[in-house]
Amino acid sequence: MFALLLVVMPYAHAGPAAQVPVRDTAAFDQLIRELDNGDIPLNTRAAVEQALDRLHTLLPPDDAHRQRQYEYMYCFLAFDNDVNAGYAYATRGVEQARQAGDLEAEANFQMCHGLYQSQVTTERDALPAYEAGIQIARHLENPRLIADGLTWRGSAQSLLGEQAMALFDFLEAQRLYEAVGNTTAAQSNLISIATIYRRLGEYDKAGDYLQQSMASAQRKQDRQEQMVVDMQLGFLATERGDPAGAVAPLQQALALARETGSRQSVGSALLALAESSNARQRYAEALQQVEGAAAEFQAVADKSSAGMLALQSAVAHAGLGQHELAAREFDLAEANVRSSRNMRYLAELYDQRSRNQEALGKPAAALADLRLKMKADAALARMAKTQLTTLMSYQFDTERRELENRKLAADKVLREQQLATLERIRRWQSLAILLAGVLLLLMLWLAWRQLRQSRRLHQLALTDPLTGISNRRHIEDMLHAAVDVARRTQSELAVIMLDIDHFKHVNDSHGHPAGDQALEQLVHVCLDALRQHDRLGRMGGEEFLVVLPDTDLEGGLQVAERLRACVAAARPVVAGVELQLSISLGVAQLRPTETGAASLVRRADAALYHAKDNGRNRIEAAL
């Protein structure tokens, strides 16, 4: 949406005191549109301050809607070097926009809230805010705002390893940007698409996109965008096995970050340089870069890179022979990386730590880390397989649409040819009709075959491959539909969020294949305990969502208790071992004031965590 600017400003900006605001609605709208589209390069702190001061000067008095427009623009631009202040400002903005019924402002503040949430905690924690912003934008039928939300959500999904879903978001955003004629945003979005291709290992395609993006950024003299492209070129070189080739673009990114004043971006560039230095066995240099990066992140209260800082520091200390210190840093890195659920970083960590354990003369610990690396690699392989399936499904749908378009174009050409033939020579009429019939039959046959394949792939795309029940996307779609029915018919609706207690112990003790078997058996137990019209879906890992149409909170608690009791009584057998498992459940009923499914799920999820905090194997009702 906005290129994040590297600048520190006061928490409550009120515009320059020496200037008297001038009522100029048209000029205000024009300037905020240019800032929103990224048509004005904001390369320095002074440029940002000048733009916000000018916008505030043009703000018409007693215009609450435009005041909120100014505030959400300020939210995105003002707090790059003060994450906590940005988070507080965005939180307040969401609530005020909601109270005012200003959906456009609420959507923008939700996206800004997600931005700072990702830096205060993790990208995964930011997803609900992005989802909320996108839902509001879709309700408003605002394609530009939808595209903005998709780019934020896509960036978070990509960092979490969901490259296929992220690519879908970026491609849809690209289509929407192009549809509304926003070429600047569309060009910037190409960087995000290039990043996805890099993370998918499509290095040549990523490089082509990045070169296009660099040329565009240089034409616009947009140093912010040049910095982002340089960072991506550095990552690309490192992942291609050329850490020396990463140095020049990363040093250029560092210089641009310092020029623009973003401590966060300076920290990111230094951290990327540290990874390159470690790869080139320049460990002392890497330590200096890690220390510099840590200082920059600490200055802006950004905790999102704590795991990578510890990992690169550990690699450097291990390379310098300081293995005891490295061991402590590897453990610290593991705790942080685990919380972010980044399997790629975990695999790298376990590989490096196993080498350090071997150097410490701890072969058993080294072997344990190698086994953990193998598990992480297997998880990455499963993730890659899932993403490949998703991409193939998306590609199939795209090709099917293209086939339909070609069919329509062929039909049009055929009709024109038939008319021309009838006008020129009547005796060919019978032959032309016959040829048209044959072509139509052929296309009907192709359409039938494509439809049959589409149905099969559609079913696969909606089903969890392990348990056979609905996957996250499908159960969320069913929940949205159930909310719409409940609103339309004024009927009750409840949901249950449930999670298997201590399931990690099953995987750790018996292995992931045994854990998969236990999951399958418990799903069958839950299905037998549910009513005919209840719907069960897997949200991920050992967490499940149950949708209960025509059910109030009391009914939901009864269903939850039946599920809890059935699971407690079940004795799944895996690897010849009988297990005794339990589940914790959170139940929530749709409120009359709730506008959608997101808040309902959040309340049920919060109740689930209360159940876990209160001892597990229990049920909690959402407030």
224 inside domain: no
Tell me which of 592 and 163 has the higher pLDDT: 592
Task: Identify the CA nearest to 585 among candidates 474, 462, 498.
Answer: 498
597 inside domain: yes
What is residue 151's predicted lDDT score, i.e. its pLDDT? 92
φ, ψ of residue 587 to 5 degrees: the values are -120, 135
**293 and 334 Cβ atoms separated by less than 8 Å:** no
The residue out of 431, 461, 491 marking a domain boundary is 461
Residue 523's pLDDT band (cuts 50, 70, 90): very high
* Residue 517 and residue 595 share a domain: yes
What is residue 19's predicted lDDT score, i.e. its pLDDT? 44
pLDDT of residue 3 exceeding 70: no
- The pLDDT > 70 percentage for the chain reads 87
* Residue 455 and residue 575 share a domain: no
Q: How far is CA 512 from CA 309, 353, 376, in A?
A: 30, 22, 11
* Residue 443 and residue 404 share a domain: yes
Task: Identify the CA nearest to 551 among candidates 610, 481, 492.
Answer: 492
The residue out of 461, 481, 498 marking a domain boundary is 461
Task: Identify the CA nearest to 375 among candidates 383, 386, 364.
Answer: 383
167 inside domain: no
> Average pLDDT, stretch 71-82?
87
Task: Identify the CA nearest to 476 among candidates 558, 536, 529.
Answer: 536
Residue 7's pLDDT band (cuts 50, 70, 90): very low
Q: What would the pLDDT profile of 365-374 be if each residue is shown by its tens digit?
A: 889 988 988 8
Residue 1's pLDDT band (cuts 50, 70, 90): very low
Please report, in angstroms and rounded to a whole number, the separation of the first and last CA atoms in the chain: 35
Provide CB contacts within 8 A for 548, sequence distance 6+: 493, 494, 495, 496, 531, 534, 555, 556, 559
> Average pLDDT, stretch 450-469?
74
What is residue 386's predicted lDDT score, i.e. its pLDDT? 66
* Residue 455 and residue 479 share a domain: no
Q: Is 40 left (phi over 0), alpha (psi -120 to 50) or beta?
A: beta
> Average pLDDT, stretch 228-245?
88
Task: Identify the CA nearest to 232 among candidates 216, 215, 209.
Answer: 209
What is residue 282's predicted lDDT score, i.e. its pLDDT? 93
Residue 21's pLDDT band (cuts 50, 70, 90): very low
- The pLDDT > 90 percentage for the chain reads 39
Q: What would the pLDDT profile of 172-208 be if each residue is shown by its tens digit?
A: 998 998 898 888 888 888 888 888 888 877 888 888 8
* Residue 559 and residue 615 share a domain: yes
Q: What would the pLDDT profile of 279-316 be if each residue is shown by its tens digit?
A: 899 999 999 999 998 998 888 888 878 888 889 999 99
φ, ψ of residue 475 to 5 degrees: the values are -65, -35
> Average pLDDT, stretch 376-391?
69
Cα–Cα distance measured from residue 38 to residue 191, given in angstroms and rounded to the nearest whole number: 14
Q: Which residues of 561-590 are buried (b: 16+ CB within 10 A; e: fewer)?
A: eebbebbeebebebeeeebebebbbbbbbb
Cα–Cα distance measured from residue 480 to residue 552, given in angstroms and rounded to the nearest whole number: 17
Tell me which of 486 and 18 has the higher pLDDT: 486
Provide CB contacts within 8 A for 443, sequence distance 6+: 407, 410
Cα–Cα distance measured from residue 490 to residue 18, given in angstroms and rounded to the nearest whole number: 56
457 inside domain: yes
Q: What would the pLDDT profile of 32-69 be if each residue is shown by its tens digit?
A: 888 887 788 787 778 888 888 888 988 888 889 999 98
Q: How far is CA 488 from CA 141, 485, 556, in A?
A: 20, 5, 21
Q: How many structural domains is the chain composed of?
A: 2
Q: Which two tokens stand for residue 314?
A: 């550990």
Residue 429's pLDDT band (cuts 50, 70, 90): low
The residue out of 438, 461, 484 marking a domain boundary is 461
Cα–Cα distance measured from residue 64 to residue 313, given in angstroms and rounded to the nearest whole number: 50
What is residue 418's predicted lDDT score, i.e. its pLDDT? 67
**CA dihedral sign of residues 5, 229, 334, 466:** positive
* Residue 526 and residue 615 share a domain: yes
What is residue 340's predicted lDDT score, i.e. its pLDDT? 66
> Average pLDDT, stretch 158-183?
86
pLDDT of residue 385 exceeding 70: no
446 inside domain: yes
Task: Identify the CA nearest to 54 among candidates 82, 27, 79.
Answer: 27
> Average pLDDT, stretch 591-617?
92
Residue 9's pLDDT band (cuts 50, 70, 90): very low
Strands 543-549 and 535-540: antiparallel
If you search the block for the tokens 């008095």, which residue do you land on? 61
Task: Identify the CA nearest to 586 among candidates 474, 479, 511, 496.
Answer: 496
Cα–Cα distance measured from residue 24 to residue 31, given in angstroms and rounded to the nearest whole number: 11
What's the full length of the chain, in residues? 623
Name the β-bridge partners of 584: 499
What is residue 168's predicted lDDT score, i.e. its pLDDT? 86
> Average pLDDT, stretch 66-81?
88
Tell me which of 5 and 324 has the higher pLDDT: 324
Alpha helices in 240-305 (DSSP H): 243-260, 263-279, 283-299
Cα–Cα distance measured from residue 116 to residue 341, given in angstroms and rounded to the nearest whole number: 19
pLDDT of residue 240 exceeding 80: yes
Alpha helices in 320-362 (DSSP H): 323-340, 343-359
598 inside domain: yes
Q: What would the pLDDT profile of 501-519 be if each residue is shown by its tens digit?
A: 999 999 988 888 889 999 9
What is residue 587's predicted lDDT score, i.e. its pLDDT? 97
* Residue 588 and residue 483 share a domain: yes
Q: Which two tokens stand for residue 230?
A: 């340089």
Residue numbers of the domain that contains 457: 394-461
CATH number at residue 566: 3.30.70.270
357 inside domain: no
* Residue 523 and residue 601 share a domain: yes
**3 and 184 Cβ atoms separated by less than 8 Å:** no
Tell me which of 42 and 609 has the higher pLDDT: 609
Q: Which two tokens stand for residue 395?
A: 């590609």
pLDDT of residue 22 exceeding 90: no
Q: How far is CA 441 from CA 116, 364, 407, 409, 448, in A?
A: 57, 68, 12, 16, 10
* Residue 561 and residue 588 share a domain: yes
* Residue 613 and residue 506 share a domain: yes
pLDDT of residue 136 exceeding 90: yes
- Mean per-residue pLDDT over the chain, rounded: 84
* Residue 485 and residue 454 share a domain: no
445 inside domain: yes
* Residue 613 and residue 479 share a domain: yes
Q: Which two tokens stand for residue 57?
A: 């000067």
